[in-house]
Structure 1
Amino acid sequence: MPSQELDARGLLCPEPLMLARNRLRGMGAGDILFIRATDPSTVRDFANLCRFMGHEMVDQSVIEAEFRFWIRRA
């Protein structure tokens, strides 16, 4: 179960990435952020965010052109 949710649907790069990064900064280690987005570039952006910041991409899926991500904060 996610600790927080972020609705980034309708937003374009780099806005979803910046919002997620700021939200993750305010969360505790081990907390999970659930993100919904519609910009296809978020698949690459959130994978890179996790790699560079040490967060874990717990899961991701695509449902009817909506990209969903579960990220565990490092």
Structure 2
Amino acid sequence: MLLKLFRKKKQLTQTEVAKKLRISVRQYQRIESGDSFPREKTLELLEDLFQVPHRVLLAKSIDEIPDFLKCFLL
């Protein structure tokens, strides 16, 4: 998932992101690996933290991102 790339770009650990989202580290790991989908509030917090729409953050590859959202990859 691209979420991991955005996290690393901001130089954050999984623990730091989980704390900011107010979820367990394990739950964040499951979201980042694609094994779990976040709740609406967690999605909002992810978007706020990374300043990127969740459709980009949770995409498995760049090919899944619509062209009009690819501007967030810069």
TM over 0.5: no
Considering only CA atoms, is the larger Rg found in Structure 1 or Structure 2?
A: 2
TM-score band by shorter chain is: under 0.3
Which one has a larger percent helix, Structure 1 or Structure 2?
Answer: 2
Q: Give the TM-score of the pair, scaled to structure 1.
A: 0.26
Task: Kindly indicate which of the two structures has a greater share of residues assigned to strand.
Answer: 1
